[in-house]
A and B are shown apart, each in its own frame.
Chain A
C-alpha cells in the first residue's frame, strides 16, 4: 500500500504482532470515551431474548427494561412474526434506592409468575440495584419453591464489565439449567447437534439467513438441530441440549463460552471453528460435526454435492479474484477475521484488515488464537482515527485516512470489503447487506463471489456523490453513520447498528 509510513499510521504489520503488542501493553487498547457500545446489561438481555416463554425481570428503573424491549423484543416481533413480547421492570424509584428494592423484586416475581406463567424467570440486576446492594440471590432462593416457573438471577450491572462480558456471563450461566445426559437421552439425540453462540431471538422469516443455511447443511447430512442457543429455543430443548452428539459454534467467540462450559460440565463434544464463511471454513465446520455424529461418509457426499452445485460459477469468479488485494474493514472483529480467512483460503487473495481496533485483540482472543493456529496471519493497518475521540466506525477522519492509503491503488487489482458508507475508489463489497445472504456455507461462498464480480464489473461507475454527501456532510468530524436516524436505520444493513437504532449488532458479532 502506498504511503504506509505516513504519520497517521498507528500500526501496520501482521495480526500476530498486534496481538503481541496488545498483550505487552505497548498499544492503546481502550475504546474512546464517546459514543460507546451497549453495556453488560444489554448484551445479557440480547442472549436471554432468544429463549422462548421467558420473562426477564429487570430489577431497576424502567429505562433499562424499556431500552432493550424496544431494541430487541420489538425486533423479534417485527422480523420474525413472534407474538408481542413483554419485558418486565421493578420500576424502582428514589425511595427504593434509599431503602432497598427487595420487596419490589419479591412482589414482582410472584406477579410475573402469576400473570405470564413463563417457563422461566430471569432476574437481571441493573446499575442501580447493583450499587445499592439488593440481595437478589437470597430473594430468588427464597421464592423458588413458591412459584411455578424456574428462576435464575443474572448479575449483569452495566458497570460490571465490558459489553462483551454480558454474553459470556449468560452463556456460561444458562448451562446450569441443563439436564445431565443419560444413555437414553444420548441415544435419542445421537444424530442431533446444537448450534451454540446465537443471540437476538427468532430469525427473520422472510430472508435466507446464515443460521438457516447451517440448519439446511446439517439436515442435508442426515442429522437434525436440537436447539440454536440462544435463538428461539425453548427451555425444554435447552434442558436436553447436553445429550446431543456435538455442539457446533455459530460464532467461535460466543459459542466457545457455552460450548466449553457444556464440555466441562457434561462432556458434550464441541466443534469450534471460526465462522463458517466460505468453503474452507464450512468444510472444517461440517467435518468437525460429522465426526461426532458418525456421519463422515454422508458429510463427504454432502460436501461434494454442495460444491458441485456451485462449482461452475464459483470457479469462474475465483479466476477474477485470485492474486488481488482485499482490504477488509475491521470494525466487526470476528466477521473481518472470518472474511479474511475466506478470501485467502478460498479465493487466493492477499488480505489486509483496515482499522481492526486493538481493543478487539483482548475481546476476541479465542478467534485470533484459532486463526493464528491455522496458519493465517493477515496484515493489519490501524490509523489514528481508530483511537481518536469519536466513533471509529465511520467518521470522516478514518475515511480520509483510508483514502490516503487507497487513493493510488488500482481498482482493477484491489477490492474493499466493508460498509457501503465508505467511499474508496476501488470496488466496494458490502457483505452486511441483507440481500447478500447467506454468507455461510457453499451458497454463501458463491454469494460472496458473485458480489465481488458485480463490484468489479461496475467499478467504472463513480460512487454516488449524493450518498457521500449524506454520510460525510460538512463539519461532521466526530459523526458516525452508527448514529443514523431511526427512519434511515430501518433500511440499512442490520449489522451496522445497535441499541436505539432498532437493530442488534450482527448476530455473529
Chain B
C-alpha cells in the first residue's frame, strides 16, 4: 500500500504539469493520416493544437490546421458563417478525406452548434466532417485523449469475424517518454517476431483504412496507464474486442518486460517464441551492463529516490528501480489521477512490499513540497524536476521525461531490453554532469596554464 500525501492550500490553485482537454483530443487526431483539423476558437488555441502535433513530432509538412480566430464580436454574435466558410476553404485547400471540426472553450461556452453546422454543410464538402467539442474546461490532457479516441469510434467498422493473432494498440501518446514512438516500434517489431499482426495503432501515423479495419482485431492492448482505458472498455462493448494486459505494468525494466511478454505469449499461445525473446533480451542486457554498467549501478544502491512521472512510465519504473537496481523508491509523484490504474499500482507496491509516499495529479507546487519534505537523494523526472532539484540542493536529478532538455535526436525506446539500457544511459550521463564542475579553478592550474600559454 502507499501513503497518499495531502496538501494544504491546493484546493483552488494548481501549477499544471499537463495540458488541457483540447491538447489531449487534438493529440489523438494528430496521429491520424489524411485528415485536417479546423478549430473554432480564438487564435491562441492553435498553439495548443501545434503542441499536440509536437507530441507526435509530426513532420511540419503534414500539419493541416485552420483556425476561425474568434474575436469579441464573434463571441457575442456567434460565428457560424465564419466557421462554414473556413471549413469549405480547408476542404478545397487541404483536400483531406476527413476534417475534424473542433470546438474549444469559447465556441463550447457560447453554444455554437458545430454538430448541426457540420451536418448541414456536409453535402457541400468532399471531406467527411466530424464535430468534436473539446473545450479545455472539459478536463485535463488525459480526459481529452478519451474525447479524441471517442471521436475515432465512428470510423471503426463493425465486424462479425475477428482475425486471429491480431491486435490494436491504443493511445501510446499518454506517455512521458520523449521518444515514445520508439516504444511503439519495439512492440511492433516484437509482435512481428512472434507472429502477431498489429491491425491498427490508435493513433500514431494511422491511416483511415487502418482505422476502418480496427474492428477485425482479436484483442486491444492499451499502452498507457493514464488514458484510453474507458475507450478500451467501449471497444470491448461495441466491437467485442477484449482489452487485454491492462492488469500488468508496461514493459519497463527486465522483470516487467518478461511479465508483459509472457502475458502476450499466453494469450496468443506463442509461449515458446516469447521465451526465446526473453532469453535473448535478458542475456543481451546483462552482457552490456556487465561491460558498461557495473561501474554505474552500484553508485545508487539503497539510494532513496523520487519518481515524478505519469503512471505509464512511473508504475513500471518503480519495480525496475527497486528490484533490479536496488534503489528505494520513497516518493512517487504521478501527473494523472491514476484512477483506472489504481489497483495495478496497489498490487505492485504490495507485491514488492514497499509503502512509498504517493501524490496523484501532482502539480508543480506539490512536487516541490514533497521533494523538500522527503529525504530524497535523487530524482527521476523531467527538466522541471531537474530545476526544482537544483533549487532544493538535491544533487542528482535525472532529466528523463517530457518536457526534457535532453536531445535524443534519434528515437530510443524505454520499453523492452534495449529500452532499459537507453534509460540507464541517460541516467549515467546526468550523473556525470552533476559532478562536473562548472567553474574551472584557474588558480589551482595556474602553473599549467602558464606552461601551455593559456
Contact = CB atoms under 8 A, between A and B. Distances in A.
A binds B: yes
Interface of A: 31, 33-42, 57, 60-67, 69-71, 74, 77-78, 83-84, 86-94, 96-97, 103-108, 110-112, 114-116, 126-128, 131-132, 157-161, 163, 389-390, 473, 475-476, 478-487, 490, 498-501
A390 B93 contact: yes
B34 to A, nearest CB: 12
Nearest to A491: B407
Contacts of A96: 137
Contact of A485 (B57, B74, B365): B57
Given A33-B67, A34-B65, A94-B137, A67 B47 contact: yes
B44 A389 contact: no
A296 B54 CA distance: 52
A89 B383 contact: no
A159 B42 contact: yes
A84 B391 contact: yes
Nearest to A91: B14
Given A31-B69, A132-B109, A499 B51 contact: yes
Interface stretch (B5-13, B201-209, B252-260, B343-351): B5-13
12 contacts: A33-B67, A61-B105, A62-B14, A88-B14, A107-B11, A107-B13, A111-B9, A126-B105, A131-B75, A159-B72, A500-B50, A500-B54
A36 B48 contact: no
Contacts of B20: 61-64, 66
Contact of A475 (B13, B15, B61, B105): B61
A74 B22 contact: no
Interface in B32-64: 41-48, 50-51, 53-54, 57-64
Contacts of A83: 387, 390-391
B61 to A, nearest CB: 4
Nearest to A394: B60
A70 B71 contact: no
Contacts of A86: 15, 364-365
B401 interface: no
Given A61-B135, A78-B405, A485 B15 contact: no
A498 B106 CA distance: 22
Nearest to A39: B44
Contact of B43 (A126, A158, A473, A485): A158
Given A60-B137, A61-B136, 13 more contacts: A33-B86, A35-B65, A36-B46, A61-B135, A64-B136, A66-B19, A111-B13, A127-B109, A160-B72, A161-B71, A479-B60, A490-B407, A500-B48
A450 B158 CA distance: 66
Contacts, number: 230
A97 B59 CA distance: 36
B14 to A, nearest CB: 5
Contact of B10 (A77, A111, A478): A111
A501 B53 CA distance: 11
A341 to B, nearest CB: 30
Nearest to A107: B12
A158 B67 CA distance: 13
Given A38-B44, A160-B72, A91 B54 contact: no
A88 B64 CA distance: 31
A63 B22 contact: yes
A92 B137 contact: yes
B105 A88 contact: no
Given A63-B48, A127-B106, A159-B72, A115 B14 contact: no
B336 interface: no
Among B9, B18, B43, B365: residue with most chain A CB under 10 A: B43
Contacts of A92: 137
Chain B interface: which size bin? Answer: 35 or more
Contacts of A71: 47
B148 to A, nearest CB: 14
Contacts of A37: 43
B398 interface: no
A396 B86 CA distance: 21
B145 interface: no
B364 A84 contact: yes
B140 interface: yes
What 5 A-B pairs come out closest when comparing CB atoms? A63-B20, A39-B44, A107-B12, A61-B136, A499-B47
A31 B71 CA distance: 13
Contacts of B250: none
A71 B47 CA distance: 10
Contacts of B139: 93
A163 B46 CA distance: 12
B101 to A, nearest CB: 13
A127 B50 contact: no
A47 to B, nearest CB: 15
B384 interface: yes
B42 A127 contact: yes
B199 interface: no
A480 B137 contact: no
Given A42-B44, A63-B21, A487-B57, A131 B109 contact: yes
Contacts of A88: 13-15
- Of B54, B64, B140, B391, most buried by chain A (CB within 10 Å of CB) is B54
Contacts of A483: 50, 53, 60, 63
A41 B61 CA distance: 28
Given A86-B365, A478-B94, A63 B72 contact: no
B146 interface: no
A62 B140 contact: yes
B99 interface: no
B187 to A, nearest CB: 22
A60 B104 CA distance: 13
Contacts of A84: 364, 368, 384, 387-388, 391
B110 interface: yes
Nearest to A479: B61
Nearest to B18: A66
A111 B66 contact: no
Contacts of A482: 60
A111 B104 CA distance: 28
Given A42-B44, A487-B407, A500-B54, A63 B74 contact: no
Contacts of A77: 383-384, 387
Contacts of B137: 60-61, 92-94, 96-97, 128
A66 B368 CA distance: 17
B425 interface: no
B452 interface: no
Contacts of A501: 50, 54
Contact of A36 (B23, B69, B104, B110): B69
A73 to B, nearest CB: 9
B138 interface: yes
Interface in B384-430: 384, 387-388, 390-391, 403, 405, 407, 409
Contacts of A78: 383, 405
B105 A473 contact: no
Contacts of B384: 74, 77, 84
A126 to B, nearest CB: 7
B341 to A, nearest CB: 21
B89 interface: yes
A490 B44 CA distance: 21
A123 B249 CA distance: 41
B59 to A, nearest CB: 7
Contact of A69 (B16, B59, B104, B105): B16
Contacts of B106: 127-128, 131, 158-159
Given A36-B69, A161-B71, A476-B61, A89 B105 contact: no
B68 interface: yes
B70 interface: yes
B43 A38 contact: yes
Question: Most chain-A CB neighbours within 10 Å: which of B45, B65, B405?
Answer: B45
Interface string B235-272: 00000000000000000000000000000000000000
